[in-house]
Chains A and B, each alone.
Chain A
Amino acid sequence: MKRIFLGEMKLNLKTTLLWSFVVGILGFVCTMMYKSMQGDMKAMADMFSNMGAFSDAFGMSTLSIATIEGFFATEVGTVHGLGGGMFAAILAIGILSKEEEGHTGEFLFSLPVSRIKVIAAKGICVFLSLIFFTIICALFYALGFVMLNEEVPVKELVIFMLMHFIMNVEVASICFALSSISGKNRMGLGIGIAMMFYVYDLIGRVVPSMKDYLFLGPYSYTNASEIFAGKEISKEALLVAAVVLLLGIVFAFFYYDKRDLAS
């Protein structure tokens, strides 16, 4: 199992580093833009905070984008939320199915290792890759604050990264379950799922009647404006996340162990 895990980590290293650096650098660049936009930001912030439901949707009514925290929450919150969700989905949705799509399962499963151990090794690989992704991005974001000579809001940044990590794991667990069913890498489906959750959250914040159901989506507890404004994170949303995560993993283990593998 250890060898399969290490092999999987090696196979996914490039993808993990690429996504971590691209999303991290994008977030860093967004943060750095704050200084150049700071002058015009006051008027813009007033305008943005008075756009009703749209201001709510993007969190601009909660936190002023004229402040570094508000600017970070609005800009980097979107970049990291979308980037992280897509990375988690792409990584997890292909991790099991690629063995059948690439016909490498014939090699892997002819070795003395059970399917359960293979799933466990691959699941741990996804989990660790998401940890690396989170840490690398967090370092880039913290560097952004430092480069701007601003105090790093350590507590808020840690909560922000932690909530996004949980969201990434939740999205990954759904895609992991899907990967156990499919004999093909459904990358498009994975991206679609991440986008769907993002849009669900966005619409949920615009349409008043949907607000009560926001907690069902994984982006509900990652709202950067609420985190940086010190609002409490919805316990219901975290409970749903835990249930979805558990169901996804259990399903993947159960289903993959029982089904026929394509040649």
Chain B
Amino acid sequence: MENVIEIKNLTKSYGKSRGVVDVSLKVKEGDIFGFLGPNGAGKSTTIRSMLGFLKYKQGEIKILGLDSVKDHEKIMENIGYMPSEAWFYPAMRVSEVIKYAADVRGGDYTKEAERICELLKVDTHKKIKELSLGNRKKVSIVCAMQHRPKVFIFDEPTSGLDPLIQKKFFGLINEYVKEGATCLLSTHVLSEVNKYCKNAAIMREGRLTMLDSPKIDDESFLKFYEDEEA
């Protein structure tokens, strides 16, 4: 399969407010796709539409060749999603959250979960409510990766993570991508896109523009933001 993610003419609005307008996007198998854009540009709306959190009436989204609405459950079996804010049930322990995600997925991913926990130094005995944002994000990484999905969708994954963990996180992504996984990486950090992404697109005011190359300089990058402000 060539296109793992395929979005055609997606339009999503919130009442009279603009969400995304006529977004079309293709992410190829094995790609690490950078998804850039200022706050409120529509990155999260696109991602949340892909995951079925938002219901859209115009456009079409296919993931792994399956329709994102009709085949939602089947698609989610092969997706590892990490939201920008990592929230879990506060009373649960880290180990319980990881097990919960694995149980709902119907598999035993203990080995992989332990490996990632060890690498990222995740304290599995602590309760979620005792964790900082950075540590909650580490739990989110484990939940997104333990089942070795075919597609990763990350929404600003590195905010709140220290540089060492960020490095380990991208190390893990590269490892999975080498094994055939595909990754959509929504971020504000240009250096991440420059360093790790093979292709990239930028969103502005709900519209998507493909970039010729993910290797863009700071000035060109900031121009997108300035244009938005103007």
Q: Which residues of A contact B (CB under 8 A)?
A: 3-4, 7, 11, 102-107, 109-114, 258-261, 263
Contacts and interface: CB of A to CB of B under 8 A. Distances in A.
A106 B87 contact: yes
B74 interface: yes
A244 B134 CA distance: 46
A34 to B, nearest CB: 40
A112 B53 contact: no
A111 B76 contact: yes
Contacts of A260: 14, 53-55
20 contacts: A3-B103, A102-B90, A103-B85, A104-B87, A104-B89, A107-B83, A107-B97, A109-B52, A110-B51, A110-B81, A110-B144, A112-B77, A112-B104, A113-B73, A113-B76, A114-B72, A260-B55, A263-B53, A263-B83, A263-B85
Interface in B173-226: none
Given A110-B79, A111-B105, A112-B104, A261 B54 contact: yes
B104 A3 contact: yes
Range for the number of chain B residues in contact with chain A: 20 to 34
Contacts, number: 70
B100 interface: yes
Interface of B: 14, 44, 48, 51-55, 72-77, 79, 81, 83, 85-91, 97, 100-101, 103-106, 140, 143-144
Given A104-B89, A107-B143, A112 B83 contact: no
A259 B14 CA distance: 11
A109 B103 contact: no
A109 B53 contact: yes
Given A103-B87, A107-B88, A111-B105, A263 B48 contact: yes
Given A107-B143, A112-B77, A102 B104 contact: no
A139 B104 CA distance: 35
